[in-house]
């Protein structure tokens, strides 16, 4: 009498758990079936579940490059369209103002930092997309808006229009599978990196002798009439230039 072995190791779940089961049950669990092995000790489930490049150490998930590659993955066409829309509204003008190299550094650094913090606080939740980087763009626009406070006709109205969407998006982060750790980290890192990489932030935001041109108007606060009629020679898309004192 011979007994046929029908159960094989199946790697299931995000934690790389191994169970001995049939192929049909493993397919139902959406796991990875290992027909060549008989025991769980013969397979590396976590390595199999994670995929991409193999681990340097089979016992530890050391695929640190995922904090970068996940910035370019999206959970669907709607997720991708939202990302492109925010990039079109904010990132395009920021790139014109401070240059592609500065905005690229801010975008990538803040996104990687947001993913790292998210991985620490939510280690077993799947995360995709550059939400941390997008919030960093909002942080940069907020800093640039505050720098141009005296140049705005209705600064408080513009500030409300800028902060309102931030609060709304952070509120959406309370829903399941949406990561507020990445959102908050991206926003804070965007503000801090703006003071590092933006060339015109070494002056007081209340100083009327500095004239900048940037995406501050996107927040809804239009520039002061006294500054909007200045000659084009006084406008600079990269840094600030001295201009006569405003009345």
User: Taking the domains of the chain in order of start, what are their residue ranges?
Assistant: 8-51, 65-197
**What is the gyration radius of the CA atoms in the chain, in angstroms?**
25
Strand partners, 19: 10
On whether the CB atoms of residues 55 and 47 are closer than 8 A, the answer is yes
**174 or 192: which carries more pLDDT confidence?**
192
Q: What pLDDT sits at residue 77?
A: 92
Could you give the percent of the chain with pLDDT greater than 90? 12
Tokens of 19: 């169970």
Average pLDDT, the chain: 76
Q: Name residue, tokens 């405003």.
A: 246
Helix, strand, or coil here: 154? Answer: coil
Give the DSSP H or E segment for 188.
helix 180-197
Q: Which residues contact 32 (CB under 8 A, 6 or more apart)?
A: 10, 11, 12, 26, 45, 48, 49
Q: What is the fold of 65-197?
A: Rhomboid-like fold (1.20.1540)
Q: Which of 26-30, 87-91, 243-247 is least confident?
A: 243-247
pLDDT reported for residue 46:
79
Query: 163-188: b or e for each residue (b if 16 or more CB lie within 10 Å)?
Result: eeeeeebeeebeeeebbbbbbbbbbb
Residue 131 confidence (pLDDT) above 80: yes
Angle formed by the axes of helices 155-172 and 180-197, nearest 10°: 140
What pLDDT score does 111 carry?
Answer: 92
């Amino acid at each position: 009498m011979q007994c046929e072995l029908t159960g094989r190791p199946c790697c299931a779940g995000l934690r790389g758990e191994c169970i001995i089961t049939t192929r049909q049950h493993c397919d139902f669990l959406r796991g990875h079936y290992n027909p060549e092995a008989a025991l769980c000790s013969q397979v590396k489930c976590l390595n199999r579940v994670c995929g991409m490049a193999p681990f340097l150490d089979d016992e530890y998930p050391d695929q640190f490059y995922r904090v970068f590659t996940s910035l370019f993955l999206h959970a669907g066409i709607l997720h991708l369209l939202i990302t492109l829309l925010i990039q079109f509204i904010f990132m395009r003008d920021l790139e014109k103002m401070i240059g592609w190299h500065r905005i690229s550094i801010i975008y990538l650094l803040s996104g990687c930092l947001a993913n790292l913090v998210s991985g620490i606080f939510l280690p077993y939740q799947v995360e995709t997309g550059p939400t941390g980087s997008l919030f960093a763009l909002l942080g940069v626009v907020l800093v640039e808006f505050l720098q141009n406070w005296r140049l705005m006709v209705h600064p408080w109205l513009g500030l409300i229009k800028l902060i309102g969407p931030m609060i709304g998006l952070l509120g959406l982060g309370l829903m399941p599978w949406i990561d507020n750790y990445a959102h908050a980290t991206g926003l804070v890192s965007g503000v801090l990196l703006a003071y590092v990489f933006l060339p015109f932030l070494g002056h007081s935001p209340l100083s009327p002798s500095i004239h900048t041109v940037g995406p501050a108007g996107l927040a809804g606060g239009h520039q002061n009439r006294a500054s909007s009629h200045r000659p084009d020679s006084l406008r600079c898309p990269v840094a600030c230039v001295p201009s006569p004192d405003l009345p």
